[in-house]
Each structure stands twice: as C-alpha cells, then as structure tokens.
Structure 1
C-alpha cells in the first residue's frame, strides 16, 4: 500500500528527512519513532505531497499512485478517500460551529461517496443529484446532521456514517454533537471513522495518542489494531512513545536528526536494538 525508496526532503540547503526504504502492506502497521525534530512528521506529510515549499526527491507510491509524478487532482483523490491523515489534535481541524454529522457528510460528498446502490463506502458510480441527498442533506428525521435531510441518497449516507462510527466503537448519536462536546479520544476515533466512511485503505497517524491519558490511548490503539485485523487497513504510525508502539507495530523505523538510524521487526528493534540512540530511547521509558 505504501512504497518508499530514497525519499529526501529538504528546505533550502537543510535536509530534514531521509528515508532509504519504507514499505507498508495491507493489514500491516509500521511505526516511525524518534524525538521531536527527528523528521517523523515531515516524512508522513511527504507521502501525501503535503510538504509545501520543500524539495522532495525519491520514489513514493501510495495506493498505487506515484506521489512524485501525480497531478494535483490525482493527489486530491488519494488524500482522504484512499489514504487518510489522522493528526495529533483533530479537534483543532473541526469547525466549532458545525455538527460532526454535517462535517462527515460534506467530506463524503466531496469524494463522491453516496451510500446508494452498489456503494461500499468508497466513491460511488451512481452519481446524480439524489445520490448525495441534495443541497439540504444535512439533517432531518433519522439523519445525523440536523434539520432538512432529503432523498434516498441521504439515507444511504446516514447508514455509511453510522457504520463507520460503530467500527471505531462510537455511538452514531455522536454525529449530532459539536466538536467542543466530545473528548480528545472521541475526536481521534471520529477522525478514524471519517477515514473508514471514505473507504480509506491506508491510515497515516501522526502522534494520535500523545494528548490522551493512558486509558484513552489504549482505546484508540485498540481501534487501530481491530481495523487492521478486520478490514486489512495499512497503518503508518508516527510516535515518540515506544511503549505504545510495541503494542501495535510489526516493524519500526527509528529516526534521529532526519536520518533513519535503525529499522527492522518491532520485536528486535524494541527489545535488542543495534543503535545506541534506540537504546537511549528505550532506557528513557518509565
């Protein structure tokens, strides 16, 4: 699902991330770990072509799309619908005056998800005005978005939205709430639910649990683990928390000062590391 060879990201004369090799297959979780400023998040953004102003070279393929050569329109089609980015504080990216159901519905309509006949949660081929529920498809009896929902397509989208919430252990009633009415853990799971509703095959998670308490961290990691096993999702996780990474990752890349200093199976890297820096990170664990 993700294939990287000789990725190099530089701003001016400064190289901020170099990744010789990175592969994430269906149903796999690969973690990139390291201290702040090590190049982890920059690497993640480069995979989606989101490093504005940077000089990026190498080979990057995500869900079969050559990120380095794809036109902007092709990249927009990949982002969200095929590869979803889950950021550290998703609440900051949500409009505070808009219900969660309305926000999710807009994202689905933007990517052509109708929930109609033949829809599987990804872009539908049914098309037509009715398939997105029309201009007032943000609510109504039985809808998740507020008053005024119309059309059979709207009911189909409601089902897609509800099923996505249930997949991440959220009550679909949460779609009636505003962003300030949910917790940090619920916001993270809502972001993952959005990816599920869009039919994403890859989740790129940037420090998804760093602002959460230990119990909620376990819930979010449990959701990601379940989605890998049940849906074959590929997960690329960026984190500085090696204890958390050890519970979910199959393979680990360790970065320091923009360079990969160690890579391999998680059981080896996190138990018997070769590089002194990795040992330092492990020794810093409480």
Structure 2
C-alpha cells in the first residue's frame, strides 16, 4: 500500500528527512518514532505531496500512485478517498462554524459517495460515537471524540491507508486507549494499512508490527517492533526506551 525508496525531503538545501526504505502492507501497522524535530511528520506529509515548500526526491508510491510525479488532480483523488490523514489536533482542522454532519456529508459528496447520510451514521457507529454528535459543532465535542470523528471520516470515504500523526498526544491515558483500540479494531476488520507517527514507545508497542526510529532526519534503526523495543541496537533507541517512566 505504501512503497518508499530513497526518500529525501529538504528545505533550502538542508535535509529534513531521509528514508532509504519504507513499506506498509494491507493490514499492517508501521510506526515512525523519535523526538520532536526528528523528521517524522515531514516524512508523513511527503507521502501525500503535502510537504509545502520542500524539495522531495526519491520514489514514493501510495496505493499504486507515483506521488512525486502524479498531477494534482490525481493526488486529490488519492487523498481522502484512498488515503486518510489523521492529524494531531483534528479540531484545528474543523470549521468552528459548521456542524460535524455538514462537514462529513460535504466530504462524502466531493468524493462521489452515495447515500452520504447513511454512510456518515454508519461510520460514526463504527468508531463508537453516537451519530447524534453529527448535529454538534467542533467546540461541543471532546478531544477524543474529535480524533474518532477524524477516523470516522477516513473510513466513511473507504480509505485503505491511514496516516496518523501523533493521534493521541493531546489526550489523557484513558482516551488514548479508546482511540488506539478503534484504530486496532478497524485495522483488523478492514485490513487497513496504518502508518503511525509517535514519540510514545509504550503506545507503539501495543499496535505496531514494525518500527522505524528517526533522529535528526535520519533512520537510525528499523525492524520488527518486538525486536527493536526489546533489544535495541542503536544507542538512541536505547535512550528513548530508558526515558520511559
């Protein structure tokens, strides 16, 4: 579902992220971990052609689309309908003057989804949200509900790939568990390919099949999650694990 080779993202001649290889298959979760500024989010945005102002080179294929060479029209078809981006603070991306139901139905119509009202309600139920929340404005729901609404929108559009950028960092531990539980269940039920960006190794250990560790824009370690987290080979990975409470 995601194939990356020799990806390099640079701003003004300075490399912000370099990823030699990254593959994510259907039904698989791959996590990119590292401290703030390590290049995680830059890598994620480049997969959808959203790294504004950056020079991006290499090979990036998402759902078979050559992202770095496809026309903007092709990328618009890819975003949302086939690949969904779940951001760290979804409420900031939601119009404060528009009800959630209007936002979701508008997105569904733009992508040609039939029966948007029914699809919207089914998607809300799938992420364990009361469909009546579609009547509310973004400021009338909690952070956890907003995060699950973003996931509901992704599955309503039928996305086969979900890119999640720190989806639980602003949530308390209980709500974190709820959101991750939703992602885990949907991955299993719908065979989603999930690329997760996080600095939380404890959270990553509960869902990821494989891990890439980034530092200063470079991948310093990669491998099966159980192996990397239990027997890290790079000093930086060991430092991240030792920093866990």
Asked if these proteins are the same fold (TM beyond 0.5), I'd say yes
CA distance in 1, matches of 2:73, 2:45: 17
1:1-286 equivalences under 5 Å are: 1-114=1-114, 156-286=115-245
Larger Rg: 1
Shift of 1:83: 0.4
Return the alpha-carbon distance in structure 2 between the equivalents of residues 109 and 159 of structure 1.
12
2: CA distance, partners of 1:222 / 1:206: 16
- Unaligned 5+ segments in structure 2 are none
Q: CA deviation at 1:113?
A: 1.0
- Offset, 1:265: 0.2
Matches of 1:208 and 1:167 in 2, distance apart?
18
How far apart in 2 are the matches of 1:158 and 1:30? 33
Secondary structure at 1:270's aligned position in 2?
A: helix
| 1:150-185 deviation digits (Å, cap 9, x = unpaired) | xxxxxx221111111111111111101110110000
Q: 1 CA distance for matches of 2:169 and 2:72? A: 31
Deviating more after overlay: 259-268 vs 170-179: 170-179
Aligned partners of 1:179 and 1:23: how far apart in 2? 35
Distance in 2, matches of 1:227 and 1:64, equals 22
In structure 2, C-alpha distance between the alignment counterparts of 1:51 and 1:181, rounded to whole Å: 31
Deviations 1:19-57 (A, max 9, x none): 000000000000000000000000000000001211110
- Separation in 1 of the partners of 2:55 and 2:133? 41
* Per-residue Cα deviation, 1:170-206 (whole angstroms, up to 9, x for no partner): 1111101110110000000000000011110000000
Rounded to whole Å, the distance in 2 between the matches of 1:203 and 1:248 is 14
3-state SS, counterpart of residue 74 of structure 2: helix
TM-score normalized with structure 2 length = 0.99
Output the CA distance in 2 between the equivalents of 1:52 and 1:281: 29
Runs of at least 4 residues off by over 4 Å: none
Q: CA deviation at 1:98?
A: 0.8
Give the distance between the partners of 2:187 and 2:51, measured in 1 at CA. Answer: 27
CA contact (8 A) 2:161 2:194 kept: yes
Instruction: Output the CA distance in 2 between the equivalents of 1:183 and 1:98.
Output: 16
